[in-house]
């Protein structure tokens, strides 16, 4: 993204208009100068079209065409959308899309926050799984106690190995480790 403020600061309106309009009179009060024939109507005699060599604004007292800066001017002349005009002017005046340090820092912080949120979500999921399997085991023990008379193959919730709990616990430990690394703490 081109920073509009940076682009405007990079272009001297006087130089810009001189590159596009043949004759520009000496500017008067406030930087306004008679600028030859109006490019927006079939103008025969100079005198109604003015440009401001300080702000880049322009105004035609004959057809009413006007704009606040040279991006407006370029848009009205070319008929191109704002974004295209900005790109063209940036190319012409050597303005590159450099992210400001604030923008870069903001993006980095946002990335850390997203990463942290993802880890916390994974942690919550694994804790829920762990509670679920432990709960099932407790319920299974209780049922097994009540159905002790049944042959083992008919008993509900036979004692399983601790596989799923162990996996959940290992994942929780791993996530906690990543969450509480110094880098993750900075993001908080
Ligand atoms: Zn005009």
| Tens digits of residue pLDDT in 36-90 | 999 999 999 999 999 999 999 999 999 999 999 999 999 999 999 999 999 999 9
Instruction: Give residue 35 CA to ligand 1 midpoint distance, Å.
Output: 11
Same domain for 105 and 88? no
Same domain for 128 and 80? no
Same domain for 85 and 139? no
pLDDT tops 70 at residue 180: yes
The CATH number for 33's domain is: 3.90.580.10
pLDDT tops 80 at residue 162: no
User: Using N-to-C axis directions, what is the helix angle for 70-78 and 82-92, rounded to 10°?
Assistant: 110
* pLDDT at residue 178, as a whole number: 86
Q: Would you place residue 185 in the very low, low, confident or very high pLDDT band (cuts 50, 70, 90)? A: low
Instruction: Give residue 61 CA to ligand 1 midpoint distance, Å.
Output: 7
Instruction: Give residue 57 CA to ligand 1 midpoint distance, Å.
Output: 14
Same domain for 67 and 140? no
Instruction: Give residue 32 CA to ligand 1 midpoint distance, Å.
Output: 16
Instruction: Give residue 86 CA to ligand 1 midpoint distance, Å.
Output: 23
Same domain for 114 and 153? yes
Q: Indicate the number of domains in the chain.
A: 2
Query: pTM above the 0.95 mark?
Result: no
Same domain for 122 and 155? yes
Residues with CB under 5 A from ligand 1 (ion): 38, 40-41, 60, 62-63, 65
Residue range 19-28: average pLDDT?
Answer: 89
Instruction: Give residue 48 CA to ligand 1 midpoint distance, Å.
Output: 7
pLDDT tops 70 at residue 150: no
- Domain's final residue, options 55, 70, 92: 92
- Domain's final residue, options 38, 73, 92: 92
Same domain for 25 and 46? yes
Compute the C-alpha angle 16/21/23, nearest 5°. Answer: 115
* pLDDT at residue 99, as a whole number: 67
User: What's the pLDDT tens digit per position in 128-148?
Assistant: 888 888 888 888 777 777 777
Rounded CA-CA distance 82/94 in Å is: 18
Same domain for 14 and 66? yes
- The SS3 assignment for 186 reads helix
pLDDT tops 80 at residue 28: yes
Instruction: Give residue 29 CA to ligand 1 midpoint distance, Å.
Output: 21
Instruction: Give residue 62 CA to ligand 1 midpoint distance, Å.
Output: 5
Let me know: does 47 contact 28? Beta carbons within 8 Å. no
Structural domain boundaries, residue 32:
4-92
pLDDT tops 60 at residue 157: no
* pLDDT at residue 53, as a whole number: 93
User: What's the pLDDT tens digit per position in 94-119?
Assistant: 888 766 777 778 778 888 888 888 88
Instruction: Give residue 59 CA to ligand 1 midpoint distance, Å.
Output: 8
DSSP 7-52: HHHHS-HHHHHHTT-S--PPP-GGGEEE-SS-TTTT--SSSSEEEE
At which residue do the structure tokens 């209780």 appear? 142
Rounded CA-CA distance 73/75 in Å is: 5
Q: Is the dihedral of CA 121, 123, 124, 125 positive or negative?
A: positive
pLDDT tops 60 at residue 187: no
């Amino acid at each position: 993204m081109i920073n509009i403020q940076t682009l405007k600061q990079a272009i001297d309106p006087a130089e810009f208009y001189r590159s596009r309009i043949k004759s520009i009179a000496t500017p008067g009060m406030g930087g306004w100068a008679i600028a030859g024939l109006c490019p927006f109507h079939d103008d025969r005699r100079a005198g109604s079209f003015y440009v401001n060599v300080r702000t880049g604004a322009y105004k035609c007292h004959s057809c009413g065409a006007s704009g606040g800066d040279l991006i407006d001017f370029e848009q009205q002349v070319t008929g191109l959308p704002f974004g295209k005009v900005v790109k063209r002017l940036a190319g012409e005046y050597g303005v590159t899309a450099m992210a400001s340090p604030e923008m870069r820092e903001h993006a980095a912080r946002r990335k850390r926050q997203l990463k942290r949120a993802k880890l916390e979500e994974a942690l919550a999921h694994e804790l829920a799984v762990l509670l679920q399997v432990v709960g099932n085991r407790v319920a299974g023990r209780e049922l097994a106690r009540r159905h002790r008379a049944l042959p083992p193959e008919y008993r509900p919730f036979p004692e399983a190995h601790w596989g799923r709990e162990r996996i959940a616990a290992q994942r929780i430990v791993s996530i906690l480790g990543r969450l509480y690394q110094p880098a993750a703490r900075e993001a908080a």
